[in-house]
Chains A and B, each alone.
Chain A
Amino acid sequence: MDLSRRSFLKLAGTTAAAATLAGVGLRKASASPSEPLRIKFTKEVHTTCTYCGVGCGIICNVRDGVIVNAEGDPDHPINEGTLCSKGASIFNMSYIFDEKGKPRLNPNRLTKVLYRAPGASDYEAVEWDWALEEIAKRIKDTRDRTLVETVDVGGRQVTVNRTNAINWLGSAWCTGEENYLFHKMVRAMGVINVDHCARL
């Protein structure tokens, strides 16, 4: 997706950004006082920020199933209503807003399962079921050929059940429950090359 600086400006037509634009004399702020506040009649959902390890509370304002604003949770003992620039714009990962404040899906957000064949110059969109079945076949093929079942340690046969042919990289972006199930899957496959952002 090739977005020029100009199209960023066009996409960024919300109150905060609009104020900045007005400040540099590019364009009048689009949110006039007669327009209702974007958060009016929205449902509030509090969540935890996904960026650094401080663990701030965020209130998401949701309208028609879309987060239209996010702000610091004033009741949260860590941030008491404040957020940094990343936390305050967290919802842009899904929707960004046009000049009228209408949500538009972030053009770089993935919404399809993609598959790239060997040597191919692009992806094709595929179904979940097909992709997961093909992945299971790849894992099985690699694992079945490479699993070491036992090794000799000082004359004693020790069961090791491991493969060095698969790497798993997990993430500190993922929840505890997700990482726990990743771990179960990793060890069930006999995988020993495991790492995540704590080291990376």
Chain B
Amino acid sequence: MGRIIEEIYVWRLPVRFYHWINALSIVVLMVTGLYIASPVLNPPPGEAVWQHNFVMWRYVHYCIAFVFIGNFLYRLYYALLSDDEYAKFGGFRPWSPAWWGEPFKEQVASYLFLRKDEPNYVGHNPVAALAHFIFIFCGSTFMILTGLAMYGENRPGSFVETAFGWLLPIFGSSYNLHFAHHVMAWIFPLYVIVHLYAVFRHDVVDRTSVTSSIITGYKHKVEDEHSL
């Protein structure tokens, strides 16, 4: 097999931490969120006032939601203020037609089996960057804003309600807001499937050790050698 010819430190510790905290919180938020929408467990025995079975699901959802928000903001902070070139989203310029040019087309063509060779990138390839922007950046922003607006409903007049309650009239009603939050949540499992597949596939096809890179931080360039 191939020989490792270069080792590149791509994902620094803060980025790796962000990734795994994000992944875990998305899983917890999805599970608790679906449960809150339709609780299925059997009711506990005894008097209602002794129990907190259902409210615990909401409590976990809220706690992890704030972890998710903090983590998201931390990642933006790291992108803006660190000197980590691979974490800065510097190459992502969807507003410029040049960005949609050759590299993007090449990558799409490669995914559609229209090219023989696989373009290789140290960071994210243009298609991956676009997917991250749509699903992770826009998706998270949407879920965070709608989520905080609903959280504010629990405490009228509170800071969260004052700061995010303006979303209710935009969505029309609290009901619409709940429904939008519920529907949009599904983009995350969808994204996870595509993301995992793309990562495993790149690992197999390009042999850049992209899968382990999110644990170790290192990607590898491999030189092809004919088997002996």
Q: Does B bind A?
A: no
Query: Footprint of B on A, CB under 8 Å?
Result: none
Interface, chain B (partner A; CB < 8 A): none
